Amino acid sequence: MDANTDTTVDFSNTQILGSNVTAKLGNSVYLGSNAAYTGQTPAASDAITSARTAAEKTW
């Protein structure tokens, strides 16, 4: 399972233990050698902003 590409599961609030782990999971912990959060790309950030704006319009 690839947490960066599997859109059917919410992987946020996850604890990841291991070496050479990189991911973009919000509110998560990475522990191990060369383990790190990789920042959002501008495209991902734009998609999140767009979705948030659309959701706010429905209120």
For 39, the token pair is: 């920042």
Name the residue with higher pLDDT: 12 or 52: 52
Domain boundaries, the chain: 15-57
The SS3 of residue 15 is strand
**HSE of 43 in the Cβ direction (CA atoms, 13 Å)?**
0
How far apart, in whole angstroms, are the C-alpha atoms of residue 18 and residue 26? 18
- List, for residues 12-39, the tens digit of each pLDDT value: 666 767 767 666 666 667 677 777 666 6
Give the global pTM: 0.33
Question: How deeply is 39 buried, as exposed, middle or buried, from its count of CB atoms within 10 A (0-12, 13-18, 19+)?
Answer: exposed
